[in-house]
Every structure is written in structure tokens, then in C-alpha cells.
Chains A and B, each alone.
Chain A
Amino acid sequence: MDSCASEPEPASSQTLTKNALKGERRPMANDDAVDPAQYLRNRIQRLALQKESGLNPYPHKFEVSMSATEFIRKFGSLHVGEHVENTEISLAGRVLNKRSSSSKLYFYDLLGDGAKIQVMAEARHSDTDENEFAKYHSAVKRGDIVGICGFPRYNLFAPGYATGKSKRGELSIFPRSLVVLAPCLHMLPKHTITSNSAGAQHNHSWTPGTTRNPETYVLRDQETRYRQRYLDLMLNPEVQKMFRTRAKIISYYRNFLDNLGFVEVETPVMTMAAGGAAARPFITHHNELDMKLCMRISLELYLKKLVIGGFDRVYEIGKVFRNEGMDLTHLPEFTTCEFYMAYADYNDLMDLIEKLLSGMVKELTGSYKIKYHGNGFDSEPIEINFTPPFRRIDLIEELESRANLSIPKDLSTETANRFLLEACEKFDVKCLAPHTTTRLLDKLVGHFLEETCINPTFIINYPEIMSPLAKWHRSKPGLTERFELFVNKRELCNAYTELNDPEVQRQRFAEQLMDRQMGDEEAMVLDESFCTALEYGLPPTAGLGMGIDRLAMLFTDSPNVKEVTLFPTMKPQD
């Protein structure tokens, strides 16, 4: 995209302002010609002049009678040329584009709360005289936030109408008055039309579950989009919809659980020991108590304590933190939902999550199928089908049949370890040291099974050695009643019938310790307070954890988790 070069660089640090403040006074130049720093200096100068003359360039309030969305909903059915001059309405938003055909006529595209409407400012409708009108409007800049009082009408000057494409013209607001509520001091990046994006540039029709093309965005530079998300939201109309979709996902999830009688709780973020998952925690320090604290890496152990305390159905939606490297699907902080249901087992949860996910997809997209660039934006999108029931495959059985192996039943032995190591070598499946049985098996599963999971698929019955918190299988020795749900080859959920025998739990922690001693730093640490809690009796319970970010990625055609995180952690800028 060499077209990026012509975009003005968005201001990203204070230096610009500081320089601008020092800058000497110069006459205003034509906007498109000036360089961004000069533009900023001009704007700041004007601000200073306004303040000197006793004007407040930042008014305290503007009474809005309706949002842009309501405006479209309410007046979308007006007839051509029909206008309701007695209907006084007021609305506000940001000027995304400005055109003038004469000093008596200005057009603006106004963006308010995700909706775009046209403003047609004519001197003859204005409350002020023509001179004032021209003077005020010539000073309004692209990016300014303005408040408008006026009336609605179909504008016959709209491009579509003039060329005969549209018989109705475009619904517009005709201002009687227009006031700048907050000036934009920087030059906004403009859309630069490129050969392959020309056709799709104003794609306002994006809906959850359909594909996107970020190459057509007004603001395309990824770094800038993530570091200055407000510009991304302002200039790329889909992005607001993506985050509204994220909010809807969480809200659907919450309602679904609430309707089943689950109670939402909050467990601590900072704890004495980080348990419930295999990951490196963030460490911090409480000054007054002079105490080391870890940030949680999972919600599991505290939520199970609440089940022990008598909450039969409990959940939490919250941030979890892992002190690990960042890549397309991993950020140091992310949002998960975990829920625990007493007297249920993992079979119940498979049914429940199937219903939840397929229902959510149906509700948000209108069908069970979503389109997703599973192989990057360069390849054709794939279709992911959430029609229930989801495929269920047994981990060991499926692995044996796909790789034509006969895996030893007792996985805790040295023989089993050697067998799997050889299998990895045979199939050229890479596994970095330490070669614990858990890690070897995990790699084989990734290679042979996860790769086949495009549509939602439950991989069930994980071995005990891989699942220190899951209950042993009621009929298959060495295995647990655990499943992971994979969509587009990635883990979306992890769930099991919870291990509630405190003695067995202690043994499992001890086995983890052995892996740790072999060099696996991510093996789980014994949490004595959790084992004690189990001794008071955890009812038979099934629990599930789901990554909200990954779910949001699927709905918004985002192969990168930063796309669905408002302000992702970024590397420091030089």
C-alpha cells in the first residue's frame, strides 16, 4: 500500500504540541497544502484568539434531542422534497468530510454514535446573516465536533440524485444553527483511493459473522490503529461495530447464564499464589503490607471455593494475566469467562455450550454460519458452521486411528514417554525440550487432531497427566472427563468434570511437581489452601472456561487478537 505515504501522519506525541505552542504566528494557509505541524500551530493560534476575545471554544453542554441513529430511524421514511421545517431537532457529531459549493452552501458528513448523516447548511435557513454564516462555516474544519439545530429533509443535491441513481436524494439535516463544540486540532488522515480498494471503500454494511477488508480502511497503518484506537474508531466505521459486537457477545453470554440461575461473582485479581492454570504470572508488591502478590492466571480455584461455599451455579467474566510473549492470539491480559455448575458433568457442559454458542451465532449473525479469514487476509475466507450438534472426537482413539499408532495405556511410564518421543520423530512433529509425556502428546494432538477442527469440534477424554484439575474418567482408566472445544483449529473452551477428591488432587499436584523438576516451568504448582477447601467437600461439579477475545475474533473476522482489544499492550516506542 504505497498510498499510505500520502496520509498525513497522525500526531502521536506531545512534541508536536509543544513545537506548535512555540511556533510564531503565520497566516492561515489552505488546509490541504500545509504540513501537519503547521496545521496544528494554526489551530492553536485560532484557539488562543477565540479565548482572548472571550469566547469559550469548549462549551459545557449541547442539548441533543436525538442521536444520529434515531434521526435516521425517525426520518428515513420522509418523501422526496418533503421537509418538516417546524420539527426542530438538535444533534451532534464529528465532521468527517466538508465540501462547499459557495459561501452560501456547505455540506458536511457527520458521524454520531456510529451512524453517518449528511448536513446541508444553507445560508437562507440559517439564523445568522450571510456574512456571519460564511465566516463561521469557513472556519469549521474536518474533524471538529459540532452541534446542529435544524430540520430534516431529503437533499436533492445529493450525488446519487443528481446522477439519477437515486430518486430520493439523501436524508439530511438542514441547520438553522451550527456550533463547534470541540475543535480538532490535528489534520485527520484522509481516505486515499487505491486501485484494489476503490470499490469497497465505504463498506458500512459490515455485520458480525461476515468478512472485513482492513486494506480498504481510511486509516490502515496497524501500529497507529492500535496505539491510537480513537482514530481507528473515528475513521474506520466498521471498528465501532466490532466493539459493539464484542459487547453483545458478553451480554448474550451473561444473559444466558443468568437465565440458568448462575450468579456472577468477583474473585481477586491479586493473590498470594497464582493457580488454576499452567502459566507464568505477573508479580507485584504491596508496599504497606510489604507483601508479594501474583496476578491471577485463571479464575478456577477461587470459583471452586465458592461452589464449596454453597454457590451451586457461579460464574465470573474477567481479566486474566499471563506474563508471556505476545503473538497473534496472545496478549498479556485477556478476558475469560469461567462458570461452574454443581451436580453436572462434562457431558452436560458439552450440551450447554453447544446451545450457548450456536444460539449466540444465530442471534448475532442471523444464521449458524460465519465467514472467516482463517488462513489470513490473502486467502479466500472459510466458512465455519455452528449448527448443533458439534462433532465429538475421542483424543486417544482418534490419535491412534489417524496416526496409526497403538499408544500405551499407562501414560505415566517411561515406555510411554519413549513411545511418544519416537512417534514425534517419525512424523516430524517438533517438540522443544523438556520432552515430558504431556508436552509430546500435546504436540501430536496439535498435529493430528486440532488441524482437522475447523467447524466447532469437541476433543474429549484428555489423559490424566495433561489435566491436573480434571476428574478421572468414570470408565476409561488413565483418562479424564475433560474436553476442549476447537474452532478454526484453535482452542476456544476448556472444560471438565471437576476433580473433587482432595487426596487425588494432591497426587496430581505432586506429579506436576515432577514435570516441573524436569524443567517444565509451566507445570502447575500445589495450592494447599485449595486442597484444604476440597476437604470440606466440593459437590460433583462441571466447569468451563472460554476465551472471550477468541470468540470476538471469530465474529469479527479478526485473525489478530489486537483487532478486538481496545487498547492492546504494545511494545514501547523508541
Chain B
Amino acid sequence: MEGLKVWRLSSSIARPSNLRQLFGFGAPSPLVLRCLNTVAAANAATNTRNRRSSTSTSTPTSTSDREAVRAIRLKKVEQLRSKGLEPYGYKWDRSHSARELQEVYKDLNNGEELDGESHHVSIAGRIVARRAFGKLAFLTLRDDSGTIQLYCEKERLLNDQFEQLKTLVDIGDILGASGSIKRTEKGELSVKVDSFSILTKSLLPLPDKFHGLTDTDKRYRQRYVDMIANPEVADIFRKRAMIMKEIRKTVESRGFVEVETPVLQGAAGGADARPFVTYHNSLGRDLYLRIATELHLKRMLVGGFEKVYEIGRIFRNEGISTRHNPEFTTIEMYEAYSDYQTMMDMAEEIVTQCALAVHGKLAVDYQGTEIQLQRPWRRETMHNLVKEVTGIDFTELEDDLKVAKDAVLKAIGVGIDSKDKSSIEACPSLGHLLNEVFEISVEPKLLQPTFVLDYPIEISPLAKPHRRHPGLTERFELFICGRELANAFSELTDPLDQRARLEEQVRQHNKKRAETVADGTEEKNKNEDSMYEVTLDDDFLTALEYGMPPASGMGLGIDRLVMLLTDSASIRDVIAFPVLKISQ
């Protein structure tokens, strides 16, 4: 039974050589009907003498194999019904989950059995492995907590159930079973089954590792198959749920109230991004999907809520990549009478609480780099960071943009690509230039958590001017692993200043758009970044005129936080059903 035990562990750590060795261990050539998704299991299957024809064995890769399996299993559905058994059961009462059993009976000795009423248990789950001998069969059953072995003896099972087990049950079926508890001589905790029921007959064979793991596109498209084959995939989403719960707990314990603001809006504001457009039939008008929750949450502060937050989906009509999915989840939070210093503490608190909830410690491994989340995190201005990395002191640069650009190109021009160079050339202001240099030279180096403070006013249209440094704002972004995780500011509350800044933003955008139109062909324009309209949210400006208390606010990308805390390389690994290109 060791083989099965190893199999259970193997899905994530398959080391074929070890496994092969272990599979060969002891057991007198067991009949491996079909083992799920491990290299070793497949190897073992191929090596078995008693390879069964249809339902058994390896890799039905081609469509015809799949269809053949399906046809055979559909026959079994009929057979079951003809025996008066429903292959799609209605319910099953479980007394325990697999993990609960493993815990309750962890001290049971090898070879020991517990009969009697109080040790009669009932479980349910998917059959993921099976081996049958003459009058004995072992099945591995997996539920959402873990796995347990079903120990099936012919004499013990009622009527012809053993026969059923051999002929009608396939790997992938969902079974309910009840019986007593036994730990095998080999140490495998088992339910010694006295009756079972096929709860759901599966029609399609589960993929094995060759197939399921390498085909990334299919992994995302049929995430449920990925989860069945690789339980650690499901774990990421359990951790994601833990993280969400921890974030809510953290902010609610500080008095924040959760609200829901609209997804469909007349004007999409609060960020600079291309929105999705849709059409409302009965209103006869276009609506935009929100690109941020900011402007509506600020209205809540005007309305008298002092601490509000929203966790919700944001939509941006942009390309997809390992860091970008068109829809993603953020938390935005706003606190009256506070400033951006408060939000730095809040960011530290949220991320460390989540790390502790998931890992129990603050040193986190991300893609081979150890990230130290112990507080406090480094807080440094953008000016100082740029100076530190590039040697350029922006406070000493002339106001002349041309001169400044030359100085920048002289300092960092060697070793950057032409795209970055033209971005530098295109900067319309010193503030943009500083930010560009920061993004090119500093950002990728910020692996350990760093608050980058005091962004230029030109690129921060919703942030309050810095109370001491003209030209800057009280804004920070949090970087971990070279990625922006959070963006926060002391909120701009002056309605006149806000109007002027938003109007300037619209002007800039339209100018860029006009330039694109002027020098591009029709076809090219369609996908240009700037070819969408930016409108002013007048209702928001009116709200500010009624007076919004001094406040700070923060947006934090939850998908990126989950990536960090689950060591996931791509955003698609943390979104259950990511947007994909149309399959061919």
C-alpha cells in the first residue's frame, strides 16, 4: 500500500526515479487499473502485465480514445440504471472529511482495526487511484481536505458490490463509502468499507501529468481538470480566500465599512486607462466598466462615512500578460482625517497579517528570492531613490526640459533599449521625466518592500500637493519584487485644484490622441493606447464642492498580493478563470 501513499504525495513532487523505486517496492505485481496523472504511475501502468483494455491504462490523448472511454462509461451508466442504481445520486451524509479521519485516528497502530458503532464512519470524494487483487481492492479517495484509502474486501461488502466495484467503478468517479476504521500493516489509514455508492459516474478520463501539466492553455481553460489532477492548484485558491478574509478582518477591526459602488458608469474615472464599453438597451446609452473605485468611494467620504473600503473587480481594456488580466481585484480604502503616512502603516499591517495567515512567518520566498516582510519597511522619496541608483539629482537639474533629458540620457543612456530612450524623449515635463527614469532604472531593483514617496504632481492628478515640497504630492507606491503593489495618497480635496488637474489630464490625452490620428493610418489607430475618450466626472467635482474631509486613500492589487504570497509567477495562476485568447 506504500505505492498509493506515495502517489498521494506525488502529484506535486514527482521525482520519477524515487517513485519508480517505491512503486516497485514489495507489492506482488498489483493490478494497476489506471493511475492518475503521475509519471511514475503511468510508467507503472505500462509495466503491468494485466493491462486492461478499455477503461484501464494510460493516456487517452486523441479524441477517439476519449470518445471510446466515454461510450464505455455511458454503457456503465445504463448498466447501473438497469440494476436500479442511480449513477447520479442525490445526496450523501458524511460523518468525516478525509483530513478529520487522519487526525482523529493518527495514533492508531499499524494493523489495528476499530470496529463498533462509534467507529463507523462515512466519507465521500473522487476516486483518484485504484488497485485490485483477487478478493481485495484498494481505492484512494480524495475530498477537498485530503485523501484516504478505501479498503474493500469481497466478503465484507454487501451482495455483489465487490463485483460492481471491479466492473463499474472507474477512476474519476465520485463515491460515497461507509465502514469501519483500519490502519493497514503498511501504515495506511483506511476505511474498511462495508457499503459504498457511486454518487457520480464520470464519463471522461482524467488527464495524466504528461497532458494536463504541459498544456498551459488547457490548464487555464479547464481549470477544474487542473485542480482534480493537481490539488496544489486548488490550494492557491484556498489561500486566496484566506488572504481576502484576512484583509477584511484587518480593515474591519479598524472600523472600516464595506460598500459596493457601481461597475457600470456613465464616465469611467479615477485612473488613466482604456475602459470597456457596453450598451444598455433600455436606456439607449453607452456605459463604461469601472477602471477604479476611487471617485465613488470619495463620494462616500463626502456623505459622512469616515472609513470605507470596497473589494471588487476592476476592468481595463488592455493587453494580457503574466501581470495583467483585463479584470482584476483590488481593495480601495479611504480614511477621513488621516494622511498618507497612515496608509503606509495600513499597507504594512495588511500585507504582514496576510503573510502570517498564509505562511505563519514574515520571510517569504518568491520565485527564488527571499522577501523580508518584517516591519518597518523602507520609506524613501522618489528623488532620493533615483539619485541613489542613477546618480542624477533632480533637485539640481535646470528647469529646462531639453537640458534635463540630455543629462538623463548621458547618465543612463548606455544600456537601455530604444523604446526606453524614446519614452524619455517623449516626456512632456520634468515630473514625467523623473518618473520615467524611476521606472527604467529603479523599479526593477526594488525587490524588498519599499515605499516610494512624493511623486511629481504632473503624474498624480488625484493627490494632494506636498505640504513642504512644491511640485510634489503626498503620494506613495509600495513596491515588492519590482512590482507595484499599492498606490496611495493624501487625497486632493480642493475642488478647484482638482478641476484644473482633471481638465489638464483630458487636454493632454486629447492632444496625444489628435497626434496619433494625424500621423497614423486608420487601421493602426484602432489599437493605439490613446484612442479612447476621457471624460470629466463632473458629479465627482460637484461632490468635492460640498466638502470632503482631509483623507488618505489606498488601492492595493489583491491578485498581485496573492501572487506574492503563493509564489505564483503569473497572474493567471491566481485567477481561477483568466481571460484567454480565443482557442484555435
Q: Using a CB–CB distance below 8 Å, which chain A residues touch chain B?
A: 11-14, 16-17, 21, 40, 44, 47, 57-64, 67, 92-94, 111-114, 143-145, 147, 181-186, 188, 227-234, 240, 243-244, 247, 250-251, 258, 263-272, 280, 282-289, 291, 293, 295, 302, 305-306, 308-313, 318-319, 321, 323-326, 332-333, 335, 342-345, 348, 471, 474, 481, 497, 500-503, 529, 532-533, 535-540, 542, 565-569, 571-572
Contacts and interface: CB of A to CB of B under 8 A. Distances in A.
Nearest to A18: B499
Given A13-B542, A286-B317, A540-B199, A61 B338 contact: yes
A113 B308 CA distance: 11
Interface string B53-83: 0000000000000000010001001000000
A481 B90 contact: yes
11 contacts: A14-B542, A145-B548, A230-B543, A240-B304, A267-B577, A270-B326, A272-B582, A287-B527, A309-B226, A309-B228, A536-B204
Interface string B280-314: 11110101010000001001101111110000110
B319 A288 contact: yes
A192 to B, nearest CB: 19
A6 B163 CA distance: 86
Given A40-B545, A63-B337, 7 more contacts: A182-B549, A231-B546, A319-B313, A326-B283, A348-B91, A497-B90, A566-B296
Given A61-B490, A288-B319, A538-B200, A267 B576 contact: yes
A543 to B, nearest CB: 13
**Closest 8 pairs (CB-CB, A-B):** A233-B303, A309-B227, A309-B224, A537-B202, A230-B303, A184-B547, A535-B203, A230-B302
A246 B286 CA distance: 29
Contact of A285 (B263, B277, B578): B277
Contacts of A144: 547
Contacts of A284: 276-278, 289
A537 B200 contact: yes
A92 B549 contact: yes
A57 B494 contact: yes
B546 A143 contact: yes
A310 B320 contact: no
Interface in B238-252: 238, 240-241, 244-245, 252
B258 to A, nearest CB: 5
A280 B543 CA distance: 34
Contact of B327 (A183, A269, A282): A269
A228 B90 contact: no
Given A182-B548, A186-B546, A569-B280, A64 B234 contact: no
B195 interface: no
A272 B172 CA distance: 28
B259 A566 contact: yes
Contacts of B578: 268
A280 B337 CA distance: 44
Interface string B11-37: 000000000000000000000000000
A345 B264 CA distance: 36
A184 B441 CA distance: 44
B317 A302 contact: no
B348 to A, nearest CB: 19
A60 B467 contact: yes
Contact of B474 (A60, A272, A471, A569): A60
B458 interface: no
Interface in B103-158: 124, 126, 142-144
Contact of B576 (A232, A240, A265, A288): A265
Given A92-B336, A266-B313, A319 B490 contact: no
B315 A265 contact: no
A233 B303 CA distance: 5
Contacts of B494: 57-58
A176 to B, nearest CB: 18
A310 B581 contact: no
B231 A567 contact: no
A92 B547 CA distance: 13
B279 interface: yes
A64 B241 contact: no
Nearest to A184: B547
Interface in B339-380: 339
B538 A270 contact: no
A319 B259 CA distance: 12
Interface string B212-228: 00000000011111111
B74 A503 contact: yes
B545 A268 contact: no
B180 to A, nearest CB: 21
Contacts of A267: 576-577
Sorting the interface of chain B by its residue count into under 10, 10 to 19, 20 to 34 or 35 or more gives: 35 or more
A266 B571 CA distance: 14
A295 B206 CA distance: 30
B296 A539 contact: no
Contact of B228 (A231, A310, A333, A566): A310
A324 B283 CA distance: 9
Contacts of B142: 310
Contacts of B402: none
A61 B339 contact: yes
B146 to A, nearest CB: 11
Nearest to A472: B88
A93 B336 CA distance: 10
Contacts of A319: 260, 263, 312-313
Nearest to A287: B317
B318 to A, nearest CB: 7
Given A231-B546, A240-B305, A17 B499 contact: yes
A569 B264 contact: yes
Contacts of B326: 270, 286
A477 B25 CA distance: 53
B581 A289 contact: yes
B264 A333 contact: yes
B496 interface: yes
A333 B263 contact: yes
Given A94-B547, A287-B527, A310 B303 contact: no
Nearest to A56: B467
Scoring B225, B338, B549 by chain A CB atoms within 10 A of each residue's CB, the highest score goes to B549
A243 to B, nearest CB: 6
B187 interface: no
A183 B547 contact: yes
A250 B309 CA distance: 14
B269 interface: no
A250 B299 CA distance: 21
Contacts of B92: 343, 540
Contact of A535 (B70, B143, B289): B70
B174 interface: yes
B222 A344 contact: no
A150 to B, nearest CB: 16
Given A264-B245, A280-B281, A229 B299 contact: yes
B464 interface: yes
A264 B258 CA distance: 16
A267 B255 CA distance: 28
Contacts of A57: 494
A182 B548 CA distance: 6
Nearest to A282: B278
Contacts of B266: 572
Interface string B495-512: 110010000000000000
B84 interface: no
A163 B512 CA distance: 68
A291 B319 CA distance: 12
Nearest to A17: B545
B10 interface: no
Given A44-B496, A181-B549, A569 B262 contact: yes
A452 B302 CA distance: 43
B576 A145 contact: no
Nearest to B221: A529
B261 A247 contact: no
B89 A540 contact: yes
B220 to A, nearest CB: 11
